[in-house]
Amino acid sequence: MAAMKPLVRVGVLILLVLCLLGVRTEAVGQQGPHIAPPQAGRSQDEANLAYFTDAPVITHEGRQLRFYSDILRDKLVLINFFYTNCPTAPPGMARLFKVQNLLGEELGKNVFILSISVDPERDSLESIQEYAWKYNPKKGWMFLTGKAEDMDRINRRLGNTLRLPEGHLRLFLLGNPHTGHWMRMLESAPPSSIVDGLRSLMSEKP
């Protein structure tokens, strides 16, 4: 068997370390993006655009963007799901606050955090602005909402298929759309392990 390339060995080593630490990582299947391999004459980018769609979304900063072209394309992403009327303090958000600090200057440059509303009918721009303020998001962490039909489609494409906000997917999705590689982690994963997982995806080649 041919020797593994150095960057691949690094990615494999990181995943082995995560397993030893007891961090559950899984290949994303029914609960995450499941993009068909690009057909002949069709690039990964074209396959991504067809799958994720370019549905319009709005960020907590009031920017109107297209979901794939403006947000996912050529970026490394960490995705979670939220709704502003959650009666308890979401542990996932507290971990993302720590993750953004660990990422430092990489956030907004090499890695982007996307918090996606599962209750867009109530998660208005004003609501998500107030909600986001609690976590002091730095540049590169975006809270997204939009029209109900658009956000429902985006949620389903990311594997969050339950329509009740309370039943939303309680996992982190880590993805490199350029390579088509994704993984998921439980919300209980240590922030340092989440960052290691992101860096392993960053090192991969398509």
pLDDT at 163 exceeding the cut of 60: yes
Flag whether 17 is in a domain.
Answer: no
pLDDT at 137 exceeding the cut of 90: yes
Flag whether 10 is in a domain.
Answer: no
Residues whose CB falls within 8 Å of the CB of residue 34, separated by 6 or more in sequence, listed in order: 28, 159
Q: What is the CATH number of the domain that holds 150?
A: 3.40.30.10
**Which pLDDT value is given to residue 197?**
93
Question: Looking at 108-117, 137-146, 170-179, which range is the least confident one?
Answer: 170-179
Domains in the chain, number = 1
Are the beta carbons of 38 and 29 closer than 8 angstroms? no
Flag whether 81 is in a domain.
Answer: yes
Q: Which residue would you say has higher pLDDT here, 85 or 61? A: 61
- pTM attached to this predicted model: 0.80
Flag whether 6 is in a domain.
Answer: no
Residue 160's pLDDT band (cuts 50, 70, 90): confident
**Which pLDDT value is given to residue 101?**
95
Average model confidence (pLDDT) for the chain?
A: 81
Flag whether 20 is in a domain.
Answer: no
pLDDT at 9 exceeding the cut of 60: no
**Which pLDDT value is given to residue 37?**
58
DSSP labels, 119-173 = -TTT--HHHHHHHHHTT-PPTTEEEEE--HHHHHHHHHHTT----SGGG---EEE
Flag whether 160 is in a domain.
Answer: yes
* Residues of the domain holding 140: 27-35+42-188
Q: Which residue would you say has higher pLDDT here, 161 or 109? A: 109
Flag whether 87 is in a domain.
Answer: yes
**Which pLDDT value is given to residue 17?**
42
**Which pLDDT value is given to residue 34?**
61
DSSP class of residue 68 equals I
pLDDT tens-digit series, residues 72-126: 999 999 999 998 987 666 778 889 999 999 999 999 998 999 999 999 999 999 9
Flag whether 196 is in a domain.
Answer: no
